[in-house]
Amino acid sequence: MMRRFKADLHVHTCLSPCADLEMTPSAIISAAVERGIDIIAITDHNSAENVIAAKKAAEDTSVTVLAGMEITSVEEAHVLALMEDVEGIMKIQDVVYENLTPGENIPPLPPFDKGKPGGFFQVVVNEKDEVLDFNKRLLIGATSLSVQEILNTIHLLGGLAVASHIDREAFGIISQLGFIPRDMKLDALELSPNTGMEKARRLFGEYGSFTWITSSDAHCLRDLGRRTTGFFMKQPTLEEMILAFKNIDGRKTEWGRE
Ligand SMILES: [Zn+2]
Ligand SMILES: [Zn+2]
């Protein structure tokens, strides 16, 4: 039977250098359960090392976790990769790591800026919040992959590719490329919480042929689920979401289609 699933497909964990330390996979899942979110995608910058913990933390809960990543292209545009399973996202991670700006992430010494509790440390944890590692790569940097190469990699591995926050003045595909080529194989465009539907139509109406979604881009627990997209489908699987993104067989996304 078809039903509506509430999805937040852009969530950072404590692995992202710009996210709060409170964003552990277990805390994210608890908050998602409380807020009635059915599907989340873990999308850390250029890494997927906390996806396993999030999937484990979600076992025996109502929340489905997609294996995701927010990849920075050579043009400094952010692209979300959404995969069903850990193996798929790990293959993408291999490609991203091979092409990531070399260098080491060096966290600041205490005292830390009070306005930024945690962050910088790129913490890899398990589902019980135990620290497994600190990722030393420059995850905040860009890869040497073009947007097109990123899309090809994601699609070759059976994933969905979404242009992140196209309304932002930095790190969005429009801010970085100037426009979205019509033939670009993006499965969806994401609008940030700063842009409502009316404003989106006014600013981005020319891209109406693409599927539009909206998500939280949460870097702290408070923001989780502040924007979500409804998916009408039978199961909370990537396979069903692919149909919903394409508006096939009665599956559809709610945002941007009414
Ligand atoms: Zn981003
Ligand atoms: Zn993000």
Domain layout of the chain by residue ranges: 3-253
Predicted local distance difference test score (pLDDT) of residue 104:
87
CA of 34 to the centre of ligand 1 (A): 25
Ligand closest to the CA atom of residue 166: 1
Distance CA 144, CA 175 (A): 18
- The two structure tokens encoding residue 43: 């999308």
Which ranges of 125-196 would DSSP assign to H, the alpha helix?
A: 147-156, 173-177
Distance CA 114, CA 27 (A): 21
Ligand closest to the CA atom of residue 169: 1
Ligand closest to the CA atom of residue 165: 1
CA of 168 to the centre of ligand 2 (A): 11
Q: What pLDDT band is residue 109 in, cutting at 50, 70 and 90?
A: low
* CATH number for the domain whose boundaries are 3-253: 3.20.20.140
- 165 Cβ partners below 8 Å, 6+ apart? 78, 171, 172, 190, 191, 192, 217
Alpha-carbon separation of residue 101 from 80, 81, 141, 179, 185 (angstroms): 18, 19, 6, 25, 25
> Inter-axis angle of helices 86-98 and 51-58, to 10 degrees?
160
Q: What pLDDT band is residue 194 in, cutting at 50, 70 and 90?
A: very high
CA of 13 to the centre of ligand 2 (A): 10
CA angle 50, 255, 25 (to 5 degrees): 15
3-state secondary structure 113-125: CCCCCCCCCCEEE
Ligand closest to the CA atom of residue 11: 2
* Tens-digit pLDDT profile for residues 208-258: 999 999 999 999 999 999 999 999 999 999 999 999 999 999 999 998 654
CA of 78 to the centre of ligand 1 (A): 5
- The two structure tokens encoding residue 48: 């997927």
